Amino acid sequence: MYKRQHTSFTGGLYSVGLHPWHLSDDWESRQMPEVKHLCTHPAVVALGECGLDKVCLKSLPSDARDAAFVRQTAAFEAHIRLSEAVGKPLVIHCVRAFNELVVLHRRHAPSQPWVVHGFRNNVNIARMLLREDIRLSIGEKYQLPVLQEIPLECLLTETDESRMPVRDIIKSIAEVRRVTAEELSMQIAENAGKIFFQR
């Protein structure tokens, strides 16, 4: 999350949000006001990463995990409401909580797009998310059946957790999907335009 002193946002486009790894006990009063302040900046085109992560709870004492997941869920729902209020999409971090993610998507029925970033899960979960109209972003690491399942108009690419340039990731995906890298680049640019710039 960017701090107030860094609100010039020069030279790029940004997302802001509270990652589930970094939620404080008093996130609602201490951290969320900063997100609300920053998310209205024109250079901020999305909220996130935000979301749900059950794996990170394993580092906590067993009797603290339920409360921590309740906190994650409350913070994520605050991001959902803010996303709808400011008209900007959500970039979602989700680990082993996809059923809960779908429940929240159905409960809130958002008008703003949701994108699960760094998707590396299996094809059944991919299908479940795609049925909910949740977009998937993949990087260097992915399961081949998932890549073959995602409609190209629902696909984004990323370099998170990778040193590989995004053009090389696109080239690799294009080879699997039997399209040219140029065609895939144009499709991804169109997808990003619809999601992040509402065009």
Q: What is the pLDDT of residue 4?
A: 40
> Which 3 state secondary structure label does DSSP give 114?
strand
What is the per-residue burial (b if ≥16 Cβ within 10 Å, else e) of 19-53? bbeebeeebeeebbebbeebbeeeebbbbbbbbbb
In angstroms, the CA 100 to CA 128 distance is: 12
Cα R_g (the chain), whole angstroms: 17
The amino acid occupying position 164 is M
In angstroms, the CA 171 to CA 166 distance is: 9
Q: What is the pLDDT of residue 1?
A: 41
In angstroms, the CA 61 to CA 157 distance is: 36
In angstroms, the CA 136 to CA 154 distance is: 7
In angstroms, the CA 72 to CA 94 distance is: 11
Q: What is the pLDDT of residue 150?
A: 96
pTM: 0.92
The separation between the first and the last C-alpha atoms of the chain, rounded to the nearest angstrom, is 26
Q: How many CA atoms lie within 13 A of 27 on its CB side?
A: 23
Q: What is the pLDDT of residue 162?
A: 86
Q: What is the pLDDT of residue 198?
A: 82
Q: What is the pLDDT of residue 29?
A: 96
Which residues in the chain show pLDDT less than 50?
1-6
Label the pairing between strands 114-116 and 135-138: parallel
Q: What is the pLDDT of residue 67?
A: 96
Q: What is the pLDDT of residue 199?
A: 66
